[in-house]
Chain A
């Protein structure tokens, strides 16, 4: 303490010091209530951040009808029958109606309600199925499937997981702010991943590139 402050304290009764000593017990009570409010607000916000926020952030949309990957893989043998490379090396992505019609006809091949929807609403009317694409990356990214699977020898699972073994289409979740599919950030709201296909942000690309090529890659390789 400086000399001046010592002097001020020595001045005797009055001022803040005196006031402070008399209100001791009431202060304790106030602090207690403050702690209760703190804990309450903390819990509410913390839990809603964990539990409510993801529900608010993502809207859920159902696919036009259920698609059984498992069944189709059994019938066609592999992923490439439908998700093939075009002659010029570009990747076809989700097959269009024309590709479906290479096997399907105007008549349903099975007996599921989903196929009935497919035949009645799309095949009969010659309309493309407006599939919601779980793995759609934004337009600012150049991505070559050929470079990764053909040249790099990666399998589909590394990025797309076990979708080929699923027998039903899970709901498509869209981020209300960005419009991206939830699969890009990943199911885990913290973005923590256990498997390589759990999330597909730029850092995930860079991690894999670093691991396999020894370098994260340059901006313009993907952002052309």
Chain B
């Protein structure tokens, strides 16, 4: 017998037949297909018990109630809270992607100290004693007023705690970043009385006259505004949008009035003049109004229909018709604040509010409310020693954060600076100037959660836990016509070695000793909050929110027209160029202290961000040789940027609309390095009297790259 080729053939065929008739083939086919669906590197969420916890979103001033879905205690989803009086179950894209901030690559994971140009990790004990020592030296030198504070919001217990710290330390130098809320507060102070806030009752108005406000693009409390707009059809309420471009809000409006950018105030005053000329509003001085007659005289003289038409680009007949439609409506309201409302001049805000006042719309349902601040916090008396009293009694260095930057850049004046909840090195116009100003401050302490542009400039970082990791009261504001205090609760233990900024302040005060320690005698921020919200704590912690007020305030407040009578000048757009560059707020791109989440950036369409370029909108009629999709160099007096051209027939000829919220420059590959920061290209124009940055834009030129 000889083993030959056929034997092997037999062996092979036999093996094949044996395997074919056994279950191996069938089973392995099935298993291997399943195997390919279960790659070990594919993340699979853990299964477990599902729970829901109530909290409040703190990403913007919207103060929406949220419901956080957890599995085995781990937050996996954020949804709107159904029974919440502000957002009624709604949530915006930033809110629903809030969990991404927990694990953001730019998060500061531990306290840091800058040595040379590098940050070095230090412990909390070291960080606190380092800051306390520096502050101690400043106090000992007898100039406590040289500690400054830049903060993002000035309501709620955290703002009060920082105020308390500054008071006990002895410095008046607290500055708030411009926001819709601060602009409205300043308007109220100029027109009505100090310590008031303004609310616009969009839910009950039947004629909303928006002066460029992005009602559905992030103005005010965004979800509440979007819902107010959504219910307009049912309520038969009209929206008239005054805008220089076809924004989403303009697109949703019943009527669009195209206006030259930066002339909204003139249009508002023009409307007042028409109503006055037609005897539609009373010129009698009522309920303590101040300077109403001179105001009427000024309108009559300086705001004739022809003059207003020439300035605004809206023809006189349209202004007339608009004024009549406004006054004939049952519950009209004029809404100030272009885009998100965090930029703008006091002149513009005051002119729009004057229209509300003259039309008798103050404190009426569907009108503009002049509201008292939510008075629910009662702090024990601050301990102020002689040094503190002397320091705090000194004059502030500047009237606003913009003026402060100017002052610091030229003369200095602060030896230390706290930055909380603010990113001035990105969010203010001409960030390079702000950075230069910061360089003139010896010692900068940041309470940021993220290594953003401003944190990068700091000397010590006391990293804050984010809103999902901490307890805090959140007060509604930003033009909402009701006052709701919500309770932001920790949904998860801090992911990194961060602390509640309130706890950091308490530790700092304790380390400073003496009076400072007495002022901050609380065990922790949580204990402090429970004490200072004593009156409402039970409801707040039980329901998660307390409605302080949701009715129109009683009585008509007096209006003081003195500021407008002083004929404040409109800011001119600086520089040279054939175009006017104007920033455009987009719902999908966060502004202010927070950068957008990776998810939000992913949703930005390529009409806004294309590859690494910001897309600027221009009207094809004034595009010259540029074509849609061209890469161009945008040049202003402040700087230049490469951008992509996007043709849009919905923008006024001669205007360039550039999205805000892009061009971040810090270590987050999902958010930074995308597009250009429009603020880099615009120089601040500080408004005399208010200190606000009144720049609505800047002259610019475009050339093909």
A: residues with CB less than 8 A from B are 29-31, 33-50, 53-54, 57, 86, 88, 90, 92, 96, 138-140, 175, 177-180, 185, 189-191
> In the complex, how many angstroms separate the beta carbon of B10 from the nearest chain A beta carbon?
3
Docked-complex contact B14 and A190, CB < 8 angstroms: no
Supposing A37-B10, A37-B14, A46-B21 touch, asked if A185 and B2 sit within 8 A by C-beta, the answer is: no
Question: Which 5 residue pairs across A and B have the least CB separation, nearest first?
Answer: A49-B22, A45-B18, A41-B14, A34-B10, A46-B18
Query: CA separation between A47 and B19, bound complex, in Å?
Result: 9
Which residues of B lie under 8 Å from residue A43 when comparing CB positions? 14, 18
Query: CA separation between A140 and B45, bound complex, in Å?
Result: 11
Docked-complex contact B7 and A30, CB < 8 angstroms: yes
Known: A37-B11, A48-B22, A53-B22. 15 other contacts (CB 8 A): A34-B6, A37-B14, A38-B17, A39-B14, A40-B14, A42-B17, A45-B18, A46-B19, A46-B21, A50-B22, A86-B50, A92-B49, A178-B31, A179-B38, A189-B27
Chain B residue with minimal CB distance to A26? B2
Chain A residue with minimal CB distance to B32? A177
Give the one of B34, B35, B47 with max A CB within 10 A: B34
Docked-complex contact A41 and B12, CB < 8 angstroms: yes
Query: CA separation between A44 and B24, bound complex, in Å?
Result: 13
> In the complex, how many angstroms separate the beta carbon of B16 from the nearest chain A beta carbon?
8
Docked-complex contact A31 and B31, CB < 8 angstroms: no
A-facing residues in B358-414 (Cβ within 8 Å): none
> In the complex, how many angstroms separate the beta carbon of B108 from the nearest chain A beta carbon?
34
Which residues of A lie under 8 Å from residue B7 when comparing CB positions? 30, 33-34, 37
Partner of B23, one of A33, A96, A189: A189
Query: CA separation between A157 and B32, bound complex, in Å?
Result: 30
Which residues of B lie under 8 Å from residue A35 when comparing CB positions? 10
Chain A residue with minimal CB distance to B27? A189
Chain B residue with minimal CB distance to A30? B6
Docked-complex contact B14 and A42, CB < 8 angstroms: yes
B8 part of interface (Cβ distance < 8 Å): yes
A-B contact pairs, 16 of them (CB 8 A): A30-B4, A31-B6, A33-B3, A34-B10, A41-B18, A42-B18, A43-B18, A44-B18, A45-B15, A45-B16, A45-B17, A46-B18, A53-B24, A53-B27, A179-B38, A191-B27
Which residues of A lie under 8 Å from residue B49 when comparing CB positions? 86, 92, 96
Partner of A34, one of B9, B28, B30: B9
> Mask for B23-58, Cβ within 8 A of A = 1, else 0?
110111011101101100000110101100000000
Query: CA separation between A44 and B19, bound complex, in Å?
Result: 9
Query: CA separation between A96 and B13, bound complex, in Å?
Result: 54
Chain A residue with minimal CB distance to B6? A34
- Binding site secondary structure of chain A: helix
Supposing A42-B14, A44-B15, A44-B18 touch, asked if A49 and B6 sit within 8 A by C-beta, the answer is: no
Give the total number of A-B pairs whose CB atoms are below 8 A apart.
112
Which residues of B lie under 8 Å from residue A53 when comparing CB positions? 22-24, 27
Chain A residue with minimal CB distance to B52? A88
Which residues of B lie under 8 Å from residue A57 when comparing CB positions? 27, 31
B527 part of interface (Cβ distance < 8 Å): no
> In the complex, how many angstroms separate the beta carbon of A188 from the nearest chain B beta carbon?
9
Which residues of A lie under 8 Å from residue B37 when comparing CB positions? 138, 140
Query: CA separation between A29 and B3, bound complex, in Å?
Result: 10
Query: CA separation between A47 and B18, bound complex, in Å?
Result: 8
Query: CA separation between A35 and B7, bound complex, in Å?
Result: 8
> In the complex, how many angstroms separate the beta carbon of A96 from the nearest chain B beta carbon?
8
Docked-complex contact B23 and A90, CB < 8 angstroms: no
Query: CA separation between A49 and B23, bound complex, in Å?
Result: 6
Query: CA separation between A36 and B13, bound complex, in Å?
Result: 11
> In the complex, how many angstroms separate the beta carbon of A100 from the nearest chain B beta carbon?
15
Docked-complex contact B50 and A90, CB < 8 angstroms: yes
Which residues of B lie under 8 Å from residue A29 when comparing CB positions? 1-2
Which residues of B lie under 8 Å from residue A92 when comparing CB positions? 49
> In the complex, how many angstroms separate the beta carbon of A196 from the nearest chain B beta carbon?
20
> In the complex, how many angstroms separate the beta carbon of A146 from the nearest chain B beta carbon?
13
Which residues of A lie under 8 Å from residue B23 when comparing CB positions? 49-50, 53-54, 189-191
Give the one of B1, B11, B35, B44 with max A CB within 10 A: B11
Which residues of A lie under 8 Å from residue B18 when comparing CB positions? 41-47, 49
Query: CA separation between A137 and B290, bound complex, in Å?
Result: 75
Chain B residue with minimal CB distance to A32? B1
Docked-complex contact B13 and A38, CB < 8 angstroms: yes
> In the complex, how many angstroms separate the beta carbon of A54 from the nearest chain B beta carbon?
8
Which residues of A lie under 8 Å from residue B45 when comparing CB positions? 139
Docked-complex contact B6 and A33, CB < 8 angstroms: yes
Give the one of B16, B24, B28 with max A CB within 10 A: B24
Docked-complex contact B34 and A38, CB < 8 angstroms: no
Chain B residue with minimal CB distance to A188? B23
Docked-complex contact B26 and A190, CB < 8 angstroms: yes
Query: CA separation between A49 and B22, bound complex, in Å?
Result: 5
Query: CA separation between A88 and B34, bound complex, in Å?
Result: 32
Which residues of B lie under 8 Å from residue A31 when comparing CB positions? 6
Chain A residue with minimal CB distance to B33? A178
Give the one of B26, B27, B30 with max A CB within 10 A: B27
Chain B residue with minimal CB distance to A57? B27
> Mask for B531-549, Cβ within 8 A of A = 1, else 0?
0000000000000000000
Query: CA separation between A29 and B44, bound complex, in Å?
Result: 60
Partner of B31, one of A38, A88, A139, A177: A177
> In the complex, how many angstroms separate the beta carbon of B67 from the nearest chain A beta carbon?
12
Which residues of B lie under 8 Å from residue A30 when comparing CB positions? 2, 4, 6-7
Docked-complex contact A49 and B24, CB < 8 angstroms: yes
Query: CA separation between A29 and B38, bound complex, in Å?
Result: 51
> In the complex, how many angstroms separate the beta carbon of B72 from the nearest chain A beta carbon?
9
Which residues of A lie under 8 Å from residue B26 when comparing CB positions? 190-191
Docked-complex contact B50 and A38, CB < 8 angstroms: no
Docked-complex contact A185 and B50, CB < 8 angstroms: no
> In the complex, how many angstroms separate the beta carbon of A40 from the nearest chain B beta carbon?
6
Partner of A42, one of B15, B27, B47: B15
Query: CA separation between A140 and B47, bound complex, in Å?
Result: 12
Docked-complex contact A38 and B38, CB < 8 angstroms: no
Which residues of A lie under 8 Å from residue B19 when comparing CB positions? 45-46, 49
Docked-complex contact A178 and B38, CB < 8 angstroms: yes
Query: CA separation between A76 and B30, bound complex, in Å?
Result: 40
Docked-complex contact A41 and B11, CB < 8 angstroms: yes
Query: CA separation between A183 and B139, bound complex, in Å?
Result: 73
Which residues of A lie under 8 Å from residue B15 when comparing CB positions? 41-42, 44-45
Chain A residue with minimal CB distance to B72? A96
Which residues of A lie under 8 Å from residue B34 when comparing CB positions? 138, 177-178, 180
Query: CA separation between A142 and B12, bound complex, in Å?
Result: 44
Docked-complex contact A185 and B27, CB < 8 angstroms: yes
Docked-complex contact A38 and B3, CB < 8 angstroms: no
Give the one of A35, A40, A46, A189 with max B CB within 10 A: A46
Docked-complex contact A45 and B11, CB < 8 angstroms: no
Query: CA separation between A41 and B14, bound complex, in Å?
Result: 5
Give the one of A38, A48, A86 with max B CB within 10 A: A38
A-facing residues in B95-115 (Cβ within 8 Å): none
> In the complex, how many angstroms separate the beta carbon of A138 from the nearest chain B beta carbon?
7
Query: CA separation between A56 and B645, bound complex, in Å?
Result: 64
> In the complex, how many angstroms separate the beta carbon of B64 from the nearest chain A beta carbon?
23
Which residues of B lie under 8 Å from residue A41 when comparing CB positions? 10-15, 18
Supposing A88-B50, A178-B31, A178-B35 touch, asked if A46 and B10 sit within 8 A by C-beta, the answer is: no
> In the complex, how many angstroms separate the beta carbon of B14 from the nearest chain A beta carbon?
3
Which residues of A lie under 8 Å from residue B3 when comparing CB positions? 33
> In the complex, how many angstroms separate the beta carbon of A23 from the nearest chain B beta carbon?
12
Docked-complex contact B11 and A38, CB < 8 angstroms: yes
Query: CA separation between A178 and B37, bound complex, in Å?
Result: 9
> In the complex, how many angstroms separate the beta carbon of A167 from the nearest chain B beta carbon?
28
> In the complex, how many angstroms separate the beta carbon of B483 from the nearest chain A beta carbon?
33
